Structure 1
Amino acid sequence: MALNNQQILYASLLGSGIVKSLPRFEVIQNELQKHVLPGLPLFPVQPQANNVQKGQAIEPFATNQAPAPIPEDKQFFPLSFSLTENGEKFLLPYETMINIGGKNILVRRNVAKWKDVPGVAEIEGTVKERFSRDDYTIEITGVLIGSLLTGSLADCYPINDFIKLKEYLTAAKALYVWCEPLQLTGINRIAVEDFSWPFTKGENVQAYTIKAYSDKSFNLILT
């Protein structure tokens, strides 16, 4: 049986045993060629129009900027200091956390107690002779933030706010304060006893804590 070039190619690829079945193989191949299946897309999911919008260029300097100070009308409980009642106010640039504690001072006396007395109930406890009110304790925790996240000390550390706050904390007098929780408690002035500048993570961040007592004016009569 003479072989054409296509049959020789099949025999070289599939082995010499396929030669006997080549006529039948060609008949099947010719029949399959009459029924061409539709082509399949390369990806089963057709691409859809996306909703990605055109981006905007970011200034390199803007990525290094810290959050701006919060104005008074944007803070929930803004806190301000002043050295005089009607003097210049210093608004802490970022909202603080304030803890207020109160205490009553009692003078208690122990009384003689007796038991097994007919008709008389047993007396327990002490007699409170005097009530007075102690000072309120105020703890203020806050943070100062520079305008730049990183950089030199002069560029990123909140030096101006630090110096300004230090002037109030080291003043040898009571400070006038304006803050809603303090006003509701009847506190208009505070006397600072203790303050600290703890280590704070971040080149442009400095935390602070303040411990103070409520203060009021008294008219004393000396005799």
Structure 2
Amino acid sequence: MDNRDILFASLVGTKVAESIPRFSVIQNELAKHVLPPIPFLPLRNVDKIKKAKSSVTVEELWWHSDSAPKADQQFFPLSFSLTKDGQKYLLPYETMISINGKNQIVKRSVAKGNKLPGTIKERWAQDDYDITITGVLIGDYEIGNIRDCYPWRDFEKLRDFLLKPQAIYVFCEPLRLLGINKIVIEDFSFPFTKGENVQAYEIKAVSDFDYLLVLKLDEK
């Protein structure tokens, strides 16, 4: 884990940071650098956030950052959509996606003799995938008033997806390889994030698959 990974973990508030040795020392060191924003995302594309100079002038307080990386500039871009072929919303900076899978197994304990330990597995089925999406939103300006600095446009777009009472279509290669095309949001958070133009988020969701529960009479 390099310095950028450590800084990113600290920003988004994941448990990764807690496992880093001498974490309190790192946190104290980070606290000394409120300005400028920290180059933190371990992205494939080039870091486009401008660095502050040793002496900051009034004009430099309004630096404008370049646009967010496009899909072809991210290694695993993630997009949301409300319909299968509808308009997609590309999460502006590459996210960290964790996927956990498990099986549902029906076990029965029977008397089998001392030479046959364990239980009888009568039936098993695949359970939902648990998906955790951790990312960050970045505003255009590093310092200024809230409408100029805070990434409220992307915040509102993401909020609209999170609050929709329906499954969301997702487009991301690791999810596609597992057959996951839709997810259902269970929980989400926007933790405190250092930097006036930075907002971290964490989304917890489960996979959703289409099942044919009603059969017609002529179907076998």
Question: Among residues 202, 206, 210, which one is paired with 1:213 in the alignment?
Answer: 206
Q: Secondary structure at the match of 2:135?
A: strand
2:192 maps to 199
2:80 maps to 81
Question: What is the alpha-carbon root mean square deviation over aligned residues?
Answer: 2.0
1:111 maps to 110
After superposition, where does 1:120-135 map in structure 2 within 5 Å? 122-135=115-128
Question: Among residues 97, 113, 132, which one is paired with 1:139 in the alignment?
Answer: 132
TM-score between the two structures when normalised by the length of structure 1: 0.68
- Give, as a single letter, the amino acid of the residue that structure 1 aligns with 2:71: E
| Matched length | 160
**Distance in 1 between residues matched to 2:73 and 2:215, nearest whole Å:** 48
Conservation of the 8 A alpha-carbon contact between 1:176 and 1:190: yes
**Distance in 2 between residues matched to 1:185 and 1:62, nearest whole Å:** 45
Q: Tell me the CA shift for residue 68 of structure 1.
A: 2.9
In the alignment, structure 1 residue 189 sits paired with structure 2 residue 182: yes
1:171 maps to 164
Unaligned runs of 5+ in 1: 1-59, 116-121
**Distance in 1 between residues matched to 2:61 and 2:67, nearest whole Å:** 12
Q: Tell me the CA shift for residue 111 of structure 1.
A: 1.2
**Distance in 1 between residues matched to 2:161 and 2:208, nearest whole Å:** 16
**Distance in 2 between residues matched to 1:66 and 1:199, nearest whole Å:** 21
**Distance in 2 between residues matched to 1:204 and 1:150, nearest whole Å:** 7
Unaligned runs of 5+ in 2: 1-58
**Distance in 1 between residues matched to 2:179 and 2:112, nearest whole Å:** 41
TM-score between the two structures when normalised by the length of structure 2: 0.69
Compare CA radii of gyration and give the structure with the larger one. Answer: 1
Q: Secondary structure at the match of 1:165?
A: helix
In the alignment, structure 1 residue 94 sits paired with structure 2 residue 93: yes
**Distance in 2 between residues matched to 1:76 and 1:114, nearest whole Å:** 54
Moved over 6 A (4+): none
